[in-house]
Structure 1
């Protein structure tokens, strides 16, 4: 795991332990090791990508796939997502479920992948990855406008690939791209619509993938650019991890726009010492661009973590209109308005911007103690002064060296993904201040072990899987226990159980068993030995029917259900 080193004139306050924050794509493979119920058919796509991790230089620990911190199911034995601990769940949260993409730089608890949880912490949909050296990031709901226009469809999007996470990967800066990543777009039936790649030698980066109303995708791409770094204090035969904003047409894959960091930002202003390249294959992570947001007037808001700066860019010309933060800031700061190592800068109405202020570690000499928090700033564009509008702190206080996001919700609340700290939270819009992290806290959940998620979101989603429900039947104490689940179905409210002496002679033995979590266990006196389940919606309509299974008595339900 990479560790930042102290550098004059700063004092070292806390060790900055950095993990995943960007990614790349080059080749891709056709075969997928992901279970078919999680992936679906690849309608409208030429191939899957990023299903094989970039080869690590060191072995990584196997994931923990059993125990109290991991879900396991009788009807879906290939799914072992992490189990979160919900520590606060109060009235007033926004509608929707929580979207996270858990991974770990140490030993993973559960499988990596894309995970949707409800407010109770139960899984709604999980798409596992075949290796802990593969990760998902920026997993969320967006609207896909095919060919542009006003009529779009809800979709799931995410980045998939391999992060450079020491000690297994030290050829690039921690969190930088390894070859083989790409972006995925899935429809409401969990079928692949599109895979998206970058252009002219750059690789899709985990930080950002945004669909526009124009039928395009706006994202960050990155790659090492060879450069003599001696004038910056780095190696002669080194490289800069450069970042580029790209926009592609989703229908054709054609590149429509690009903006290159090296053309517009001076790497000499970086807060990341060029000497750090010695521990990352000679590559200096000078910029570390981690978000791009498009405003309604053709402006781009670009966050560069290692510059401690946010840039307002005129999209058409590429010119930087102003810089907020960093060594050449165009703004001064009011009390508590300054930020460090920030992520997820977004335009807000009324000359405001939001971000996640990591704030942790390697702060300027004399800077006050600072905790990670969601931050909304007022920008006075005339006087060029930034002041605090609202802040969102956690209890207990958190120090997240990397990652994180601040999401505006439709009801005025704010959802915070705490990045390298294993939490996600929701707050009433008024927020709180440092030392009062419980004030206006409505929802809070903790990830197990060393698991983290680059971002976390609350989104509304209606999933109607193309694949059928799953079921399994076990004999237990003279009864039959039927397990029913449907990975990703958001409208199932109850289960109908059928049984019979053979597969063609089934009759209803339980008319309507209420759904209880991801997997529902229904006990019946019916001997079977053939069983089937039907998923019912709130009106009792059949949504889907499982395959017929036979009763098994190979192990007790106490051993299989955890």
Structure 2
């Protein structure tokens, strides 16, 4: 089990728990160890639904070579909900990184692996394996099942052809008997009978391949490198051909290519787009009849990844770019990736193989104005072929979790087979020692389904750090009546835990002997005559090189008023702050402001009354306060 970094709710993070006064702290984990580490940042309202992802290693050597592939479903903001882990096969990871994971209209799901399409029912059990007929190779990139029960398969065929008119990247002439791979689309009806077949090599010539950039061996030609299909309301197809830098429109009734967008012999003049898309993945029809494309931008000038939406005028043959979003790191995506237009106008963009890893976010959701709503970022060397958000037409049967506060134990519903808790424990019930969010993982078909997070409330109204120097910091918390003393656990990140019995009822403690410019975690619990509270939610701070307590005290002067508030909330600080976030009682971010200011007013009029958590970032430190919104 490993930690999922939830930057939207770090103030709710549960980093460690105490088994007893004498035992050591153990780091609490959020996601099963089979899922690669990733972080989440939420900046606005994400579109509802579940995100289907296939995180897997991109290039050998980046991560543990034992890591296989994962099918992962998250909630709308990236919290893990269901997963299946496939171990290494013949020394290679299960190839989910090269295939999509999607949902059919009836709720059945499909994923591609080893040139097969595996179908799951709504209980995540395998119920079918789909392949192409006529000795064709089933392609992992895409599949569509329409509401009439027909399935539309993307396949590959191989022909011996004369490629002598082509020149490889290193200047060699193509073989006269080269093996050429071309795209095939097959349609099967509800009885699994093949009723339609279209082959690209019957309609395209090899000289339509874009120069020699994708031709490396004289005897092998990956001609179209087809990677996506979609169907319009009349049953016509669009097909993405990466090696042609082109989207083809295939008329179902005649099998003819009605038009080409991009590449050699494009039918359209591009409007509002001076950068032609190259090496694209993923083409989709929108509800408005437009077309979206994920532009990898490998050979574009400048080379930059983009999500695009075109309006096509097939009378005047103009393709007008009406919406686009560039990779915020300004880099292109070497391979894979996709973009999805959501029902509320947001776009979900999977940047996939965007290098350098440290510059580009893995997956983003942006609104129609290009404002970032959600960032999901996987560890270095891990990517997903696609990321798609679906409103699944069935209810997930997730286990319930209950809490026995008297004995500090969490119980998982006995009707489910418990595999593990988010702490890593496998016993039911499990004893806990710290406030925070907990999750139970239970068996579900071929994988595991997580319960909804169960919140164990913080016994302290708030806790914070101030008076930070290069070697000390003051730890603060709201007092609890009847306490004998407070017990603190603190550690330098990556180091050992230090336990401190304050031996007083004071609600602050100055810890000394810290290392400069180092990050620390700490938590506090209250000791009574015959019992103790849970540990508080974790606090984080980073020391600096300042030695003057006066300087640090001045930087922490913070005013928040009025609290409770009936409409407007004002925040004032001597030193400027860079971020302000407000979360409601359901842990959903409802306000996010990112700018360097020393005073700001927040309009709370549209928010629901009740308890909220305010987070303010000053430098590397986050300060949390409880805010009450009252009805006006």
Q: Shorter chain as normaliser: what TM range?
A: 0.5 to 0.7
Structure 1 position 346, deviation (Å): 1.5
Q: Output the CA distance in 1 between the equivalents of 2:27 and 2:101.
A: 25
Q: Looking at CA atoms only, which structure, 1 or 2, has the larger radius of gyration?
A: 2
Q: Output the CA distance in 2 between the equivalents of 1:272 and 1:133.
A: 33
Aligned length in residues: 390
Q: Who is 1:130 aligned against?
A: 87
Moved over 6 A (4+): 65-69, 71-78, 478-483
Q: Who is 2:341 aligned against?
A: 408
Structure 1 position 191, deviation (Å): 1.1
Unaligned runs of 5+ in 2: 6-14, 16-25, 168-173, 355-360, 399-414, 457-529, 531-585, 587-632
Structure 1 position 428, deviation (Å): 0.5
Matches within 5 A, 1:65-80: 80=34
Q: Who is 1:253 aligned against?
A: 192
Q: Output the CA distance in 2 between the equivalents of 1:325 and 1:270.
A: 12
3-state SS, counterpart of residue 217 of structure 2: helix
For the 8 Å contact 1:129–1:135, the answer to whether it is kept is no
Task: Return the TM-score normalized by structure 2.
Answer: 0.56
Find out whether 1:226 has 2:145 as its counterpart: no
For the 8 Å contact 1:415–1:427, the answer to whether it is kept is yes
Q: Who is 1:84 aligned against?
A: 38
Structure 1 position 386, deviation (Å): 1.3
Structure 1 position 314, deviation (Å): 0.6
Matches within 5 A, 1:133-532: 133-136=93-96, 137-144=98-105, 153-161=106-114, 181-233=115-167, 234-249=174-189, 252-271=191-210, 273=212, 276-278=215-217, 282-336=219-273, 338-361=276-299, 363=300, 368-421=301-354, 423-431=362-370, 440-461=371-392, 462-464=395-397, 468-471=417-420, 472-473=425-426, 484-486=440-442, 488-489=448-449, 492=452, 494=454
Name the structure, 1 or 2, with higher relative contact order (CA <8 Å, separation 6+).
1
Structure 1 position 74, deviation (Å): 10
For the 8 Å contact 1:406–1:417, the answer to whether it is kept is yes
**Distance of aligned partners of 1:184 and 1:474 in 2 relative to their CA distance in 1, 3 Å threshold:** closer
Q: Who is 1:18 aligned against?
A: none
Q: Output the CA distance in 1 between the equivalents of 2:363 and 2:140.
A: 19
Structure 1 position 398, deviation (Å): 2.6
Pick from 106, 124, 143 the counterpart of residue 60 of structure 2.
106
What do you get for the CA RMSD once the two structures are aligned? 3.6
For the 8 Å contact 1:403–1:454, the answer to whether it is kept is yes
Structure 1 position 248, deviation (Å): 2.0
Structure 1 position 155, deviation (Å): 2.1
Structure 1 position 226, deviation (Å): 2.2
**Distance of aligned partners of 1:336 and 1:237 in 2 relative to their CA distance in 1, 3 Å threshold:** same
What do the CA deviations read for 1:291-318 (whole angstroms, capped 9, x no partner)? 1111002311111111111111111210
